[in-house]
Amino acid sequence: MIQLLIADDEPRTREGIKRVLEGWLTGSYHIYLADNGLAALELLQKQAIDVLISDIRMPGLTGLELVERVSSLKRKPHCIFISGYSEFAYAQKAIQFEAIDYLLKPLEKKSIIAAVQRALERREEKLQQDRLMKVADVQLLELEQETGHADINKAMQYVREHLGEAISAKQLAEMLHMNANYFSQLFKEQTGISFSDYVTRQRLQLAKRLLLTTGLSIQQIAEQVGYQTDRYFIRVFRAHEQLSPAQYRKQQT
C-alpha cells in the first residue's frame, strides 16, 4: 500500500491536495493529514510514509525542520515541499534535502500530480534497488572490485559481458594465451572460487535480477543467462537457491 502524508496548517490546502490525489491515484493507498509540523513528525515516526507533501512554514516545526528530524529514519519519505513564498533560500534548502519538487501556492492540479508521480517513480526505483541488494551475491560484488591480476580481471569482465553465450575455461585460456589447467588454477588462487562456479553464480545473479525486474518468462530468462533449456536452468537454480525460479520470483516480489 502507498502511504502519503499531507502536512499543512491551512485546511483548504490539505483537503484540496487530498481531493486531487484521490481523483488520480489508483490501487491501494492511504492519505494521512497533519495540521502542523509536530503532528506530522509523530505520524512519520509511527508510520512508514512513502511520500510527504509538506508546507515550508508550519506551526511547531517548519517543513524543512520536519524533514531534517526524519532524515535518520530507516525508510525516509520522498518529499515535496509547498510554499506561498518563492524565496531562493527555501528552494536551495529543499534541494539539499533531495526534495522531489518545490511547488508554489496557489497549487495547480497538474503540478501536484506530476510531483507525486515523480515521487512514486523514485519510490519504485528505491524498492527495486533494495530488493536487488538483498539478493546480491556479496562475494561476486567483492570480486568485481578486481583481483589485482590483469588476466583474471579480463576473464571476469568477459564472463559478465557474455553470460548469454557458451563459456568455458578452455575458451578463456586460449583468449589469454594460457594453458587451460594453469588458467583454472590461477583463477581459483586469485578469486577463491573455481571458474565454473564463478560463471554459474554470475548467471544466477543475472537471472535473479531479471526475475525481479522484468516480466520475462522462465524460458526467456534461461536463454538470456546462457542455458540451452529452461529445464536445466531450473535444476541449477533450485540446487543453489532451494527454490524454483518461479517460486523465487513470487517470494521476493
pTM (predicted TM-score): 0.76
In contact, 220 and 230? CB cutoff 8 Å = no
SS3 category, 61: coil
**Minimal CA–CA distance to 203: which of 231, 236, 174, 250?**
236
User: Domain residues for 63?
Assistant: 2-132
Q: How many residues does the chain have?
A: 253
SS3 category, 55: strand
Write the CATH number for 160: 1.10.10.60
Mean pLDDT split into 10-residue runs, the chain, 253 residues: 96 97 96 97 95 94 91 88 82 83 94 97 91 87 81 94 96 96 96 96 96 95 96 97 95 82
**What does the block give as the cell for 135?**
539478493
Output the pLDDT for position 51: 97
Give the total number of structural domains in the chain.
Answer: 2
Q: Show which of 132, 150, 179 is a domain's final residue.
A: 132
Output the pLDDT for position 175: 95
Q: Show which of 132, 167, 196 is a domain's final residue.
A: 132
Q: Show which of 110, 132, 154 is a domain's final residue.
A: 132
Same domain for 55 and 17?
yes
Say how far apart CA 60 and CA 57 lie, in whole Å: 9
Same domain for 174 and 107?
no
Same domain for 107 and 149?
no
Same domain for 44 and 145?
no
Output the pLDDT for position 97: 82
Same domain for 9 and 126?
yes
Same domain for 128 and 142?
no
Locus of grid cell 516545526 = 61
Same domain for 143 and 233?
yes
Same domain for 18 and 108?
yes
Output the CA torsion sign for 146, 149, 152, 158.
positive
Output the pLDDT for position 88: 72
Helices (H), the chain: 11-24, 37-46, 63-69, 88-96, 109-134, 138-143, 150-161, 169-175, 180-191, 195-213, 218-224, 230-241, 245-252
Same domain for 122 and 163?
no
Same domain for 104 and 210?
no
Same domain for 159 and 142?
yes
Same domain for 196 and 124?
no
Write the CATH number for 43: 3.40.50.2300
